Structure 1
Amino acid sequence: MDQANKDRSLVSKVMDGLVTGIVEEKYGAILPPQDVLSKEFDVSRTVMREALSMLLARDMLDVRPKIGTRIRPMSDWRMIDEDVVSWRFRAKPDPLFVRDVIEFRSLIEPRASAQAAARGSAADIAALREAFEAFRAIRPNEPGYQEADELFHTRIVIASGNQFFKQMAAIIRGALSTVNPIVNQKEGAWEGAVSARQRVVEAIERRDPKAAEAASLAMIDHTAEEMGSTLSEPPPVRG
């Protein structure tokens, strides 16, 4: 590995470490000075400066004179960035965030399902059926369940043929990683999940956009209902 690649790898490692510290609230509201962080991560100031600049570009940090590097609220982070999506979903979900990701899914997935029914290729729809069968074969407490569900939803947006929807797949996968562990604790959740996804697949296979959109929306609405106790929690008091 040449030096340039080593530096990029080191910057990525430092970024990941910084984000872990941020979501775990290790640093509070203000990051320590660069010198302190460089010693903590055992890297040069150049590497630390590059890592911080990458987080600044993603609207995660804010540099202010005489204050330092402030950690911005997670709601300000640039979510249309796969790294940011992954990092944001590491944090413990709060009720407002859960609400927002469900609302996001309601905007994107039903329309993607309709478009998949209208213009998905035969290969795309076959791949979706394959993903559904793999999902149906796994129980929530078995290895590979989450990955199978993520693949199913990803293949819907791929079948839609919309390049912007495809870019949103990372957010959908992150949303599933947040809601599935909560929903799957409820009795009958797996049977309901299989049935809801089957209706989406069958509508897409019938090339029925309206039915596919309705089935997808019903699937997400069911998740929202199952998450009701979480969503009904009062928002945090802000000072």
Structure 2
Amino acid sequence: MELGNNKERSLVSKVMDGLISGIVEERYGAILPPQDVLSKEFDVSRTVMREALSMLLARHMLDVRPKIGTRIRPMRDWRMIDEDVVNWRFRAKPDKTFLRDVIEFRTLIEPAACALAAERAGAADIAGIRDAFDALHQTSPGDSGCQAADSLLHTRILAASGNQFYQQMAAIVRGALTIVNPLLNQRADGWSNVVAAHGRVVEAIERRSPADAQAAAAAMIAYTADELNRALATESAE
């Protein structure tokens, strides 16, 4: 069913966002309340609520069971290729398994994308990557634009790979950065090491050296994994 106007579509978006907040904050438990209860909670029509729920169903976040109701599916089942779902998933507090999966995903995708960028990127692509790195180099962890600069650099490298599947993975990489960077920045030299690692990737791309770009990206992610393990071990010991 299509909604009739922009106001209704905006309401659906707001309801979806509210439902997601409730899910990731575990306010609902395993089963969502009935639609009429949710409609009253959000002060919207049943039509709007039905559409919002259908959008989450399509993203494999919910499951309707006869005689049971609308079940919240495990986060591992959510459609992570969907950028909205990626953003919502990364709003939840990360657990060790999720962080492990993020690192494994980046290890699979980013070194290969960096190698392709070194091989395929045009002059404008490389200039954009250098500009993004320069912006990152000029920031510090406390700056408001720090996360945006890091995200832009990774996005431009993935775009420069020329591979449409890698390009579509940018949302997951950006989401990963939002959770790993705060942990990396807990050490005094953490940020400078991260920036230096990015610099080696950028320099290899500029030299048109796919092997060096791939190796530099793999080393950058390995450093991230080591620092995450260190941070999590410290948290567990406290």
TM-score band (shorter)? over 0.9
2:85 is equivalent to residue 68 of structure 1: no
C-alpha deviation, 1:166, in angstroms: 0.8
Partner of 1:85: 86
- Look up the SS of the partner of 1:211 in the other structure: helix
Structure 1 segment 201-220 matched on structure 2, within 5 A: 201-220=202-221
- Look up the SS of the partner of 1:66 in the other structure: coil
- Look up the SS of the partner of 1:222 in the other structure: helix
2:96 is equivalent to residue 106 of structure 1: no
C-alpha deviation, 1:187, in angstroms: 2.0
How far apart, CA to CA, are the structure 2 residues paired with 1:81 and 1:107?
19
C-alpha deviation, 1:183, in angstroms: 0.8
Structure-2 change in CA distance of 1:93 and 1:25 (3 Å): same
Give CA-to-partner distance per residue, 1:158-207, whole Å, 9 cap, x none: 11111111110000000000100111111201110111011000000000
Partner of 1:184: 185
Partner of 1:120: 121
The question of whether the paired residues in 2 share the 8 Å contact of 1:95 and 1:232 is answered with no
- Look up the SS of the partner of 2:5 in the other structure: helix
The question of whether the paired residues in 2 share the 8 Å contact of 1:112 and 1:160 is answered with yes
Give structure 2 stretches of 5+ with no counterpart: none
Partner of 1:140: 141
Q: Over aligned residues, Cα RMSD in angstroms?
A: 1.3
The question of whether the paired residues in 1 share the 8 Å contact of 2:30 and 2:72 is answered with yes
How far apart, CA to CA, are the structure 2 residues paired with 1:81 and 1:8?
18
Normalised by the length of structure 1, the TM-score is 0.95
Give structure 1 stretches of 5+ with no counterpart: 234-239
The question of whether the paired residues in 2 share the 8 Å contact of 1:138 and 1:145 is answered with yes
How far apart, CA to CA, are the structure 1 residues paired with 2:104 and 2:204?
22
Partner of 2:228: 227
Hey, which bits of structure 1, 4+ residues long, moved more than 2 A?
229-233
How far apart, CA to CA, are the structure 1 residues paired with 2:167 and 2:75?
23
- Look up the SS of the partner of 1:70 in the other structure: strand
Percent identity, aligned pairs only?
70
Give CA-to-partner distance per residue, 1:56-96, whole Å, 9 cap, x none: 00000011111110000000000000000000000000000
Normalised by the length of structure 2, the TM-score is 0.95
The question of whether the paired residues in 2 share the 8 Å contact of 1:99 and 1:231 is answered with no
